[in-house]
Amino acid sequence: MTGIGEPIELCLIGIGTGNPDHLTAQAAAALNTSDLILIPRKGPEKSDLAEVRLLILSRVLTHAVPVAEFDMPTRDASGGYAKGVSDWHDAIADQWCAALAAHEGPKARVALMVWGDPMLYDSTLRIAARLPKVRVRVVPGITSIQALCAAHAIALNEVAEPVLITTGRQLRDHAWPASLPDSMVVMLDGACSFQHLSAEGIDIWWAAYVGMPEEILMSGPLNRVAAQIIAVRAEARARHGWIMDIYLLRRRAGML
């Protein structure tokens, strides 16, 4: 791993779902007091993700702060999942260290903007733990779950009922046992895993690019809208080159 040199404070800043208006005052202050801001590049097909970060900076910075862009490694999916993720995180940490080492100016305070909030299905904190001589500070942000519920004007949970937050991989592998809560938020689902469920008696609230100008919202009984969501999602991903989506599933009473 490339050495960093001087000790630094790495501030992980939740930036919501890409809408500059979602940035908190605390996040804006953290960006303005940084010596350096790291921005990942994820290839030309996802260049607008970096552009959203730059747009946010143009809105909130009150003075010039140096920016260091770095190339995001891709995860090797040919081997085991756990090892692939661990190796990927090591590679990202190396990219951070290289970007820091290449910066010749002050870098006692370094900021990295994170989609949503760093605590929720995001690996930035785990990657930061790999860096030597780094003290991590977190500024929370609006999550995609909050933005999803706000966009659909719905409550996350039924009265006095729990909610499960999970991933598409978990939904595909384990389905939705009756022992689990009747409300489920599914994240990181590139395969529309809801199509593997028995759709009768389930409602869905789905959103892509939630909170952004490209926002797409769809909802209704799963057995009526599943095919349409799959088609719309595929078209949007092809058009933009990337997609971020999330959905809430809810079983109707008596449908177990």
Domain ranges of the chain: 8-142, 145-251
96-149 pLDDT, tens digit per residue, is 999 999 998 999 999 999 999 999 999 999 999 999 889 999 999 999 999 999
With b for 16 or more beta-carbon neighbours within 10 A and e for fewer, the 149-188 pattern comes to bebbeeeeeeeeeebebbebebbbeeebeeeeebbbbbbe
| Contact present, 145 and 185 (Cβ < 8 Å) | yes
215-231 pLDDT, tens digit per residue, is 999 999 999 999 999 99
| pTM over 0.85, yes/no | yes
Alpha carbon distance 83, 182 (integer Å)? 33
The secondary element (H helix, E strand) that includes residue 120 is none
Copy the structure tokens of residue 129.
């733990």
Task: Say if residue 255's pLDDT is above 90.
Answer: no
What's the whole-number average pLDDT of the chain? 91
- Other Cβ atoms closer than 10 A to 122: 18
pLDDT band at 202 (very low <50, low <70, confident <90, very high): very high
Lowest pLDDT segment from 44-58, 88-102, 136-150 = 44-58
pLDDT band at 1 (very low <50, low <70, confident <90, very high): very low
Task: Say if residue 2's pLDDT is above 70.
Answer: no
Of the CATH numbers 3.40.1010.10, 3.30.70.260, 3.90.1150.10, 3.40.50.720, which one belongs to the domain with range 8-142?
3.40.1010.10
Superfamily for 145-251? Tetrapyrrole methylase, C-terminal domain (3.30.950.10)
pLDDT band at 201 (very low <50, low <70, confident <90, very high): very high
149-189 pLDDT, tens digit per residue, is 999 999 999 999 999 999 999 999 999 999 999 999 999 99
